[in-house]
Amino acid sequence: MKIAVALREAHDAETALAAELLRVGERHKADHDVFHLTRTLTSWSERHVHRLAAVAGRYGIELDADTVDDEEDRGLLARLREKGSELAGRRPEAGLLLLRDLRELHLAAARASLAWTVLGQGAQAVSDSELLATVTACHPETIRTMKWTVHKVKEASLQVLAG
């Protein structure tokens, strides 16, 4: 069934978004707002992945309910990014890096949002109220992630480019 393709795309997009959120948070650990909010937003994406995995079996596919949040998977590379963030601190280069990372994060959130839109249309087309309820619950949180990236880009741009 074609809805399985849309389910897989939403799952892949939310998994990638969770990974990108973790990466950005680790890289900018010195910026406590970014670090802590990316952790919160990651938990949203992880919940979305779990919900998609729970529904997928009805469409004959198996989706992994886990994301990249395993401490083992994060390993040495994550710790190196965190230490690099601490060392870079508030240097001007860190601000430019944050702007680049926020742009990438926004694109990942936009991909996930579009995947939710397609999946929502598909859920309506096949009259799957459970799937539509999942989309209705999850998509607004992904949109909030996008809105946060835009807000943070505006805020950081003022500080980095005018400072």
Give CA–CA dist 148/153, Å, rounded. Answer: 8
Please list, in sequence order, all residues whose beta carbon lies within 8 angstroms of the beta carbon of residue 77, skipping any fewer than 6 positions away.
none
Task: Report the interhelical angle of 92-125 vs 129-162 (nearest 10°).
Answer: 160
Identify the CATH number of the domain defined by range 3-162.
1.20.1260.10
Which tokens belong to 62?
């198996």
Instruction: Give me the pLDDT at residue 74, please.
Output: 53
pLDDT digits (tens, 9 = 90+) for 71-88: 445 555 555 545 554 544
Instruction: Give me the pLDDT at residue 77, please.
Output: 52
With 50 as the cut, is the pLDDT of residue 48 above it?
yes
Please state the rounded mean pLDDT for residues 93-111: 94
Compute the half-sphere exposure of residue 128: CA atoms within 13 Å on the CB side of its CA: 20
CA angle, residues 119, 36, 140, in degrees to nearest 5: 25
pLDDT digits (tens, 9 = 90+) for 20-33: 999 999 999 999 99
Instruction: Give me the pLDDT at residue 133, please.
Output: 98
Instruction: Give me the pLDDT at residue 9, please.
Output: 98
CA terminus-to-terminus distance, the chain = 54
Burial (CB count <10 Å: 0-12, 13-18, 19+), residue 57: exposed
With 90 as the cut, is the pLDDT of residue 41 above it?
yes
With 60 as the cut, is the pLDDT of residue 66 above it?
yes
Instruction: Give me the pLDDT at residue 69, please.
Output: 47
pLDDT digits (tens, 9 = 90+) for 129-159: 999 999 999 999 999 999 999 999 999 999 8
pLDDT digits (tens, 9 = 90+) for 104-125: 999 999 999 999 999 999 999 9
Instruction: Give me the pLDDT at residue 159, please.
Output: 86
* CA distances for 83 relative to 30, 78, 124, angstroms: 9, 9, 47
Please state the rounded mean pLDDT for residues 48-66: 94
